[in-house]
Amino acid sequence: MAHLWRGVIREYMDRLDIKSDNPIITLGEGGTPLVQAPALAKLVGAEAAWLKFEGMNPTGSFKDRGMTMAVSKAVGHGAQAVICASTGNTSASAAAYAAAAGIQSVVLVPKGKISLGKLSQAVAHKAQILQVKGNFDDCLRLARELSENYAVHLVNSVNPDRIEGQKTGAFEVVDALGYAPDLHVLPVGNAGNYSAYFKGYQEDLEAGRIYKIPQMWGYQAEGSAPFTVGHPVAKPETIATAIRIGNPASWDLAQNAREVSGGRFGAVTDAEILWMHRFLSQEVGVFVEPSSATGAAGLFKASKAGEVAAGSKIVVTVTGHGLKDPMWALKDERGKEIKPTSVSAKAAEVAERLGLSKSS
Ligand code: AN7
């Protein structure tokens, strides 16, 4: 009989910091596919590669794993409203989980710098949306200040409940493979998810489910790469708007994760991100938003420098769905718009346009 996935809190109750009588607000998040990616393994010269396809979550990104925990606990504390700063995915998720809980959500987004798909999700789920004249880092500063002084509960990843929920991504990888990969690769913005996967692997190690923690490899966009330059960046810039973050909230957690796991941080150009975005959709069959291709782009860059060991088993988390920001798929390598050809509804003409030869 098919097993109906019950959401990450019920599936991993005994491993999460939540009391058994806490209300559970869930949309069935988690249980996402671990997709075999032989084309990526071949490209980077690894033994095997998988994509943890987080676009398959209810609101189309990994944020839902953390939001089920954060909103459930907010409701448990009696909160009537939640607030977040967001480059788009956190706000989409917060708005959906607040709707499910029957409470208000307030979202602060950088004006003009979030994708239409994500903005439409926040509107659809009836969030109170304010576009702030500033970047994500300004929005987060505001959200923190408001939550400290007003009756509104903060659900950004500075709230440890978010990290706690997101660590289930690592649990699922281990449950699916039966072991930990050699490398785990992710895109990095605030480094909440990077830190969360590390926490999950660390707990699996302590529980004896695995015998080593994967090297944690985190990649940012070059114009927005505080971990590579070693300090916050005042004016982050990249087409990968989800990770256009200059002052990562989980700085210390991430540095610890990198050090303990023997991992690394790196940066790739917007062009390298878009190239990998296309490779994943065309050669692997997984459509992600550009930011989500940043980890795989970094892995490819490292492989070209001879830094990926031949026998490696690699998991790459692809964080958000391609439909979040579909315009990038409709451009070719040079940024020129791609428009399907129009034809009349006649078989002969269609066949000619397609270059089909007659069957014998
Ligand atoms: C697709 O929604 O920060 O390193 O406000 O949407 O945990 O921040 C989104 C981040 C990667 C980076 N991929 O994760 C927000 C937000 C996608 C994302 C990241 C984000 P973190």
Question: What DSSP letter does each residue of 215-239 carry, written as one string?
Answer: EEEEEEEGGG-HHHHTS--SS---S
User: Ligand 1: which of 59, 63, 321 to mutate, judged by most atoms within 8 Å of the beta carbon?
Assistant: 63
Residue 217, classified by CB atoms within 10 Å of its CB into exposed (0-12), middle (13-18) or buried (19+), is buried
**Strands 34-36 and 48-53, how do they pair?**
antiparallel
Per-residue pLDDT tens for 136-183?
A: 999 999 999 999 999 999 999 999 999 999 999 999 999 999 999 999
The answer, yes or no, to whether residue 2 has pLDDT greater than 80, is no
Kindly state if the Cβ of 55 falls inside 6 Å of ligand 1.
no
Tell me the torsion sign for CA atoms 343, 344, 347, 348: negative
pTM over 0.85: yes
Distance 245 CA to ligand 1 centre (A): 9
Distance 234 CA to ligand 1 centre (A): 18
Kindly state if the Cβ of 295 falls inside 6 Å of ligand 1.
no
pLDDT of residue 35: 98
Q: In the structure encoding, which two tokens stand for residue 36, read together?
A: 């075999």
Kindly state if the Cβ of 135 falls inside 6 Å of ligand 1.
no
pLDDT of residue 332: 87
The answer, yes or no, to whether residue 312 has pLDDT greater than 80, is yes
Distance 356 CA to ligand 1 centre (A): 44
Kindly state if the Cβ of 61 falls inside 6 Å of ligand 1.
yes
Per-residue pLDDT band at 272 (split at 50, 70, 90): very high
Kindly state if the Cβ of 220 falls inside 6 Å of ligand 1.
no
CA atoms within 13 A of residue 276's CA, in its CB half-sphere: 30
**Which residues, 6 or more positions from 72, have their beta carbon under 8 angstroms from its beta carbon?**
9, 18, 22, 23, 24, 25, 26, 101
Distance 118 CA to ligand 1 centre (A): 12
Per-residue pLDDT band at 268 (split at 50, 70, 90): very high
The answer, yes or no, to whether residue 334 has pLDDT greater than 90, is no
Per-residue pLDDT band at 198 (split at 50, 70, 90): very high
Distance 350 CA to ligand 1 centre (A): 43
Cβ–Cβ < 8 Å for 42, 115: no
pLDDT: which is higher, 90 or 334: 90
